[in-house]
Structure 1
Amino acid sequence: MSHDVHPTIEKYPAALRILHWVRALLILGLIAAGWTMTVLDDVVLAKFNLLYPLHKSFGVLVFLIVLAQLAIRARSRLPEPAPLPAQESLLSQAVHVAMYALLLIVPLMGYAMSSSYTDSDGVFFFGIHLPEILPKDDDRFKLFQFLHKTLAYSLLALVILHVAGALKHRYFDKDRRTNVLPRII
């Protein structure tokens, strides 16, 4: 008779579950705000007085949340991967790694963009002025702006794929063990 020294973990730690959903809401809000900022005319004062500062602050917050999540993941016992077919398992792992990478890179590109723009007042984190370590250079700004936008849309595509996968496993898979949603709720 064998004894399981490490019982199966059914859910992610509470801190990870909470941070996952907070981060998810923030990402959706940041993408909506970013899109709104790009379509608003520059004469709309709220664009520069409200949307840009909040977008920057919440972008830094997402960056910090992701760092916290990675630290918690490194120190926690996590549920075993769902018993997925090999291709789905590989896709799931690739999507998660790419999302975490972009969740760090997109805010960094936003910071680089704000830091390098000649007319920028810098990056504030809810009123705290963050140091600008990049020189002002509008050519670099254009590169960072392109990367920030392109990578943000790439992140959005991965988020959609992530949600679609979770819904597929919950509602369409015959094997109920692939329903991963209860682990994160």
Structure 2
Amino acid sequence: MALGNTHQSYGSLSKTLHWATALSILALIPLGIIANGLPFDTSEELARKAFLFSIHKTLGVTVFLLALIRIGWMITQPKPAPLHPERRLETFAAEMVHWALYGALVLVPLSGWIHHAATTGFAPIWWPFGQNLPLVPKSEEVAHLFAGLHIVFERVLVIALVLHIAGASKHRILDKDGTLARMLPRGGTVPPAPQRADSAAQHILPPLAAIAAFVLAIGVGNALGVFHGKDAAPVAQAELAEVTSDWQVESGTLAITVSQLGAPVTGQFEQWTAEIAYDPDTQTGATTVTVAIPSLTLGSVTGQALGAEFFDATTHPTAVFTAEITPAPNGAEAPLVATGTLSLKGTEMPLTLPFDLNLTDGLAEVSGSVTVQRLDFGIGPSYPDEASVGFVVEISVALTARQQDS
């Protein structure tokens, strides 16, 4: 069998790429459905769910690369002519479905890959390229958008795949012609296809119709709200009272980093307040930091982190750190420490936060970090080992505060 195509038949490379892609897709779709439906209430369940998703993602990247190779090869090869060119509507529909399949084979895995790169945590891709993509920022908005596009494009793929199989079956069972045989590994002898002279419109209309189908699918998906992040039920935000402080926070970040399946996952709380009293002359003071737990974003595991097993944001919507500020002991890594109590998820534990302070003309720049044990606060008790979720959680803070007039 020849490697390349002819006007009468497909070559061995086209057939290999076709069936390799087909088998991968037929494995990917049920694998994704099964993985998505699995629970993750325990460490073992989370590990199993993540393992299946890693297979799904890795196989998806493989399909993406296969699709690019297949499309590149298709462009360089002649395409066998349809056996029934007089059936213009049927021929148009078949070519439109082919274009929709080609587009979906690229867009489905690519949108999933971008969604993976835009977020952090959960089920790494087993490829040497790393978990990020050029020009793709870590962004919840980008992640939600491409998660929605992944769903929409997957529906287009399934519909196109069903139509493609139905068309091949019709040719095999009803027409009893050689259309399907031309793509089989050992297709046998196929009668020569009638020659036809296609107009420019006949060449351009099927891909345009396929593009229109994708646009329509995106419109329907938008109307159904698939781009708005429905991975978990929304958690009501905690209302934080405004604070009047000797030092008013102008900007800052409050972040946490956890280890999931051996990989670090970093997120941050968007809403928090800090009441600060500090005397630069004595280097002493006090602070009370109140955090709105439901404002946490933690990549792809945000919904899980806010659930009852972990932060339980509905029952415990705030955390409070109350501390005295003093100079650090000699030899400490940071010049100042905030020593006090962290109240989180109904549990109070002592906490000492070392931090650096850069003070210039009444403007203070503060940065520091500390680690805590999640199990001390009853966070993730169903995950008693570190194979899925690490015990240690790093809390880091960076803020800029301006001294207020007396």
Shorter-normalised TM range: 0.7 to 0.9
Cα distance in 2 between the residues matched to 1:121 and 1:92: 37
The Cα shift of 1:51 comes to: 1.1
With normalisation by structure 2, the TM-score equals 0.40
Deviations 1:8-61 (A, max 9, x none): 74320101101111110100111111111211112422111x212111111111
Aligned to 1:4: none
Cα distance in 2 between the residues matched to 1:137 and 1:39: 25
The answer on whether the counterparts of 2:54 and 2:123 sit within 8 Å (CA) in structure 1 is no
1:140 and 2:142 matched: yes
With normalisation by structure 1, the TM-score equals 0.85
| RMSD across aligned positions (CA) | 1.9
Amino acid at match of 2:26: L
Deviations 1:75-118 (A, max 9, x none): 22331123141111110111000110010011110011101114
Greater strand fraction, Structure 1 or Structure 2 = 2
Amino acid at match of 2:11: P
Aligned to 2:32: 34
Structure 2, unmatched stretches of 5+, are 1-5, 185-406
Cα distance in 1 between the residues matched to 2:157 and 2:71: 17
Pick from 10, 13, 27: which aligns with 1:12?
A: 10
- How many residues align? The count is 173
Greater helix fraction, Structure 1 or Structure 2 = 1
Cα distance in 2 between the residues matched to 1:122 and 1:30: 16
Cα distance in 1 between the residues matched to 2:150 and 2:10: 30
Amino acid at match of 2:149: L
**Higher RCO (CA 8 Å, separation ≥ 6 residues):** 1
Aligned to 2:81: 80
Amino acid at match of 2:92: L
Pick from 26, 32, 46: which aligns with 2:48?
A: 46
Who wins on radius of gyration, i.e. which is larger? 2
Cα distance in 2 between the residues matched to 1:99 and 1:21: 14
SS at match of 2:102: helix
**% identical aligned pairs:** 31
Cα distance in 2 between the residues matched to 1:42 and 1:68: 37
Cα distance in 2 between the residues matched to 1:86 and 1:78: 17
1:59 and 2:60 matched: yes
SS at match of 1:107: helix
